[in-house]
Structure 1
Amino acid sequence: MEPDLDAATLKAWAHLVDSGPFSSLCWGERMAFDNPESLTLLGAMAAWTGRVQLVTTVLIPQLHDPVMLAKALATADMLSGGRLTVGLGVGGRHEDYRAAGADPATQTMREMAERVAVMRRVWSGEKVTESTLPVGPPPVQAGGPKLLVGTMGPKTTRHAAGWADGLAGTTLDLDAGKQSELFDVAREAWQQAGKMAPHLATSFWFAIGDGDEPRAQVHRHLQRYMNWIPAEIVDAMAPTTGWAGTAEQLHAVLKRFADIGTDEVHLIPTSSDIDQVRQVADVVRDFD
C-alpha cells in the first residue's frame, strides 16, 4: 500500500520474504487507491517465490464475479504449487465497491458467505452452469485453498465458522487480552460447527527503528492509507495505532501474542524500505 512501487521493488521484497524466516507473504485489496491489483500481484508472487505461503489479507468477494474469482484463485493455487491461503472480508469502503461497479448493499457477511459457497462448488469440480466441462483448473489443494475471515469482532467470527478455516484478524491497539478473547470465541464457534480448531492470525501496522521516527512513519502511512477518514481523526488515532519501536520491543510484543496461542502475526509495513524487512527477520528467527 506504499506509493511509487515498481516491479523491481516488489520482486526484491518477495525474494527476501521467501528466503525466510517468514511463514507467509501477505497483501490486501483496494480499488480506489494506487496499490497493485491483488489477483495480478498474486500471479507475480507465485512466480517470484517458491517456499512461503501466499495469503490475501483480504480479498473482497463482492468486488468480483464469484466464478471468475474461483477460477483465478484456483489458477494461483496451481501456479504456486498449493501455497495459497485466501483471506476474505467485506471491506470497509463504499468507494471501492462503487469503483468496481459493485453494489454497496452487498457489503454483508451473508453475501460473502453465498459467494464463498459458489467458489467452493467450482473448486469441487461441480458444474455451476450448463457448460460442457466444469470451470477449471482444479486447485492443487483438494476442495480449494484454506479460507480465512478478515475480522475484528465476535459477531463476524461466529458468522464465518460455517465456511472459514480460521481468522485473518487485525488489532489496532495490540491488546493481547482482547485478541485472546476473540480467539476463544473462534475456538468455541468452530467446535460448535464440528470443525477442526481454527487457524488464528492477527495483524498490525509496524515500523522498526530507534527514536521518534518509527512512530512518525506509522503516522504518515495512516494519513495516506486511511484517506477516507477525516484527517483529524487519523491524527488522533496515530499515536496508539499499530506498533513502533526497537527490535527488542517487537520481540516482546510477538512473545505476548505467541503466549495467547496466535498461529501467525501478519506484520503490515508502513514503508517500502526493504531494510525494515531485514530488521524484522532478525527478530522473527527466534520464533522458528
Structure 2
Amino acid sequence: MDIAMTLPTMLPHGRDEVLRWCRGIDEGPWSSLAVPERVTYPSHSLMVQLSAAAALTERVRLWTTIVILPSHPAVRMAKDLASVDRLSHGRLTVGVGVGGREADYQAVDASFARRWSRMDAQVARMRAVWAGEPPAAGLDPVGPPPVQVGGPPLVAGAIGPKAVARAARWASGIDDGTAIVTPVPETLRSVAANVRKAWRDAGRSDEPHLSTSLWYALGNDAREQLHGYAYDYMRIFGDEMAEAMADSTTAHSPQALRDAVDMVREAGYHELFLVPTTADPDELARTRDALGV
C-alpha cells in the first residue's frame, strides 16, 4: 500500500510552510500529495494550493481529495485541472465528489439539488473538453490539452452503495472517508468488497483504485491537537456530532499511527492519505520517524 500526504490546506499557514511541506513531501517517501477542498472555512483555495504544489514538486503525484464538483462550472474546472496537469507534467489525479455541506454550495451560489446526476454529466463534459471538443456549437475548443491522454484519472469520493454503483460507470477508483477518524477493520473490508463488486456488476475487469484518509497528530499535545482539529472541522454538523467524532479519533501516537496504517493496508486498500492536523512542517519528520520510512 502506498502512503500519501495531505497538505495542511485547512489550517492557517503562509508561504514558508507551503514551500517546506511541498518540498518535504516531494523528497519522499510519500506516493502522492493531496489537496482537499472546503469553502466556508478558513482554508486555502484548492486550485491555488494545487497549482503551487505543481510548481514546487517534481516527483510526487498530485491529488484532489476532493473537488466538490457540482459546486463548480464543469468547463472552467476542466480548464483549471488541465492547466495543473500541464504544470505538473501529467502527475495529476482528480478526486471528485458531491460533499455533504450545503453551506459550501450556498457560498458560491450553486444548487445543492440533484448533485449526483449533475456530477455524472459534469464528468462527461470535462472529458469532452479534454478530448478537444468545443463546449458548444460555434465555439473554439477549451485548452490547454492535458498531458495525460484522455485527461487526468478521475476517482470518485463515494461510500454508499448507490454512489459507488454510479461511480463504477466512469471512475478509476473510489476515495472514501471510512478511516478519517479511526480505521475499523470490518468496515474497511466491507467497503473494499462492495467497491470491487460494484466494478464487476458494471461489467468491468479492471481493479478499482481504493484510497482513504486519516486525521492524525504526533509530537507534544498530540491528543489535544487531534481532538481540537476534528471538533472544529465537524462543528458545521452541530456540537454533539463534532464532539462525538473528535472523541473517536485515535491516531495521536507513533504506535497508534502505525496500527492505523496496518489496518488500512490489511483491508486491501491501495493508498492511504495521511491528513496532518498541524501546519508545522516538522510533522513530516515526526511522521517518517513514526513509520520508519
Which structure 2 residue ranges, 5 or more long, are not aligned?
A: 1-8
Identity across matched positions, percent: 38
Of the candidates 76, 83, 89, which is equivalent to residue 68 of structure 1?
Answer: 76
How well do the aligned residues superpose, as a CA RMSD in angstroms?
A: 1.7
In structure 2, the CA distance between the partners of 1:81 and 1:285, relative to structure 1 (3 Å rule), is farther
In structure 2, the CA distance between the partners of 1:96 and 1:2, relative to structure 1 (3 Å rule), is closer
- Match of residue 119 from structure 1: 126
Could you tell me how far 1:209 is from its partner in structure 2? Answer: 3.7
Which structure 1 residue ranges, 5 or more long, are not aligned?
A: none
For residues 54-203 of structure 1, the aligned pairs below 5 Å read 54-106=62-114, 108-131=115-138, 133-170=140-177, 171=179, 172-195=181-204, 196-203=206-213
SS in 1 for 2:113: helix
Is 2:44 the counterpart of 1:36? yes
- Match of residue 6 from structure 2: none
CA contact (8 A) 2:36 2:46 kept: yes
CA contact (8 A) 1:209 1:244 kept: no
Deviations 1:4-53 (A, max 9, x none): 31121112111111110000111211111221111122111100111111
The CA distance in 1 between the partners of 2:157 and 2:264, in whole Å, is 18
Of the candidates 16, 20, 25, which is equivalent to residue 24 of structure 2?
Answer: 16
Deviations 1:59-89 (A, max 9, x none): 0111211011001101110110110010111
Please identify runs of 4+ aligned residues in structure 1 that moved more than 4 A: 283-286
Could you tell me how far 1:180 is from its partner in structure 2? Answer: 1.2
Aligned residues: 282
- Match of residue 267 from structure 1: 274
For residues 224-235 of structure 1, the aligned pairs below 5 Å read 224-235=232-243
What is the TM-score normalised by the length of structure 2? 0.91
Deviations 1:240-288 (A, max 9, x none): 13x32322332222122212211100111111122222121234455xx
CA contact (8 A) 2:217 2:252 kept: yes
What is the TM-score normalised by the length of structure 1? 0.92
The CA distance in 2 between the partners of 1:204 and 1:154, in whole Å, is 22
In structure 2, the CA distance between the partners of 1:65 and 1:2, relative to structure 1 (3 Å rule), is closer
The CA distance in 1 between the partners of 2:40 and 2:188, in whole Å, is 30
The CA distance in 1 between the partners of 2:292 and 2:156, in whole Å, is 27
Amino acid at match of 2:200: Q
Could you tell me how far 1:140 is from its partner in structure 2? Answer: 0.8
The CA distance in 1 between the partners of 2:230 and 2:262, in whole Å, is 25
SS in 2 for 1:226: helix
In structure 2, the CA distance between the partners of 1:134 and 1:285, relative to structure 1 (3 Å rule), is farther
Of the candidates 196, 208, 211, which is equivalent to residue 218 of structure 2?
Answer: 208
| Larger RCO of the pair (alpha carbons < 8 Å, separation 6+) | 2
In structure 2, the CA distance between the partners of 1:284 and 1:73, relative to structure 1 (3 Å rule), is farther
In structure 2, the CA distance between the partners of 1:157 and 1:284, relative to structure 1 (3 Å rule), is farther
